[in-house]
Amino acid sequence: MNNSKLPPTSSGLFNSPQNRAIIFQVLSLVVVVLCIFYFVNNMFDNVAKRGITTGFSFLGETAGFGVSQALIPYDDTSSTFLDVFIVGLLNTMLVGVIGIVLASIIGLMVGIGRLSSNYLIAKLSLVYIETFRNIPILLQILFWYNVVLAALPSPRQSISYFDSVFINNRGLIMPDPIFESGSGFILVAFILACISVVFLAKWASKRHDLTGEEFPLIRVSLAIVVVAPLLVFFVTGQPISAEYPALKGFNFKGGITIIPELLALIFALSIYTATYIAEAVRAGIEAVPPGQKEAAKSLGLKEHVILRKVVLPQALRVIIPPVINQYLNLVKNSSLATAIGYPEIVTLFSGTTLNQVGQAIEIILMTMAVYLVFSIVISLLLNWVNAKMEIKGR
Cβ 119 to other proteins shortest distance, Å = 4
Cβ 134 to other proteins shortest distance, Å = 4
Distances in Å between the Cα of 156 and the Cα atoms of 68, 145, 151, 160, 261 are 21, 20, 14, 11, 20
Q: Is 298 helix (H, G, I), strand (E, B) or coil?
A: helix
Q: Which phi and psi (to 5°) does residue 342 adopt?
A: -70, 130
The answer to whether the CB of 373 falls within 8 A of the CB of 382 is: no
Residue (142 or 242) nearer to other proteins, CB: 142
Cβ 77 to other proteins shortest distance, Å = 28
Q: Which residues sit at the interface with other proteins, rule CB under 8 A?
A: 17-18, 21, 24-25, 28-29, 32, 39, 42-43, 45-47, 49, 116-121, 124, 130-131, 134-139, 142-143, 146-147, 332-333, 335-336, 338-339, 346, 350, 354, 360-361, 364, 367-368, 371-372, 374-376
Residue (257 or 270) nearer to other proteins, CB: 270
Q: Is 221 helix (H, G, I), strand (E, B) or coil?
A: helix
Residue (142 or 258) nearer to other proteins, CB: 142
Instruction: Give the max Cα distance, the chain.
Output: 105
Residue (198 or 360) nearer to other proteins, CB: 360
Cβ 343 to other proteins shortest distance, Å = 15
d(C-alpha 27, C-alpha 9), whole Å: 25
Distances in Å between the Cα of 18 and the Cα atoms of 21, 31, 32, 276 are 5, 20, 21, 45
d(C-alpha 316, C-alpha 85), whole Å: 37
The answer to whether the CB of 177 falls within 8 A of the CB of 233 is: no
The answer to whether the CB of 135 falls within 8 A of the CB of 123 is: no
Angle between helices 119-132 and 81-114 in degrees, nearest 10:
150
Residue (131 or 238) nearer to other proteins, CB: 131
Residue (103 or 197) nearer to other proteins, CB: 103
d(C-alpha 169, C-alpha 158), whole Å: 8
Residue (12 or 212) nearer to other proteins, CB: 12
Cβ 325 to other proteins shortest distance, Å = 10
